[in-house]
Amino acid sequence: MDSFLQLKSLGFSLFYGWAFFYLAKGNLILTNNLKIIGKYVITLIFVIDVALLYLYLMFQINQGIFHIYFFFMFALGYFGALMLHPKIVKLCQIWQNKRK
């Protein structure tokens, strides 16, 4: 695999980890008022769909070649979004208060 394809795969994995954080947060909000069985079923379907989508898109990018550092970048994107989310929310609230 050439270096450009590796960079493209790493960047996609980082972005997908970031997107997964917000999708999981949305899933949590949507399943908040359901019963416990409904939460488990919808969360299981969500995780399977997100994982299959990641595998499909990675197969489209680099013909199905996987390395452990792609998953490290995915985790870095997820935890980066986890750490930056409160700061982003705070900045949006400050910006919204300035507009009033």
- Give pLDDT tens digits for 43-87: 999 999 999 999 999 999 998 888 899 999 999 999 999 999 889
Nearest to 19 by CA among 91, 82, 88, 93: 82
Helix axes 36-62, 3-30, angle to 10 degrees: 170
Q: Is pTM beyond 0.85 here?
A: no
Which residues lie closer than 8 Å to 61 by C-beta, 6 or more apart?
Answer: 5, 8, 9, 12
**Contact predicate 68/14, CB 8 Å:** no
Residues 6 or more apart in contact with residue 3 via CB below 8 angstroms:
none
Q: Is the pLDDT of residue 1 over 80?
A: no
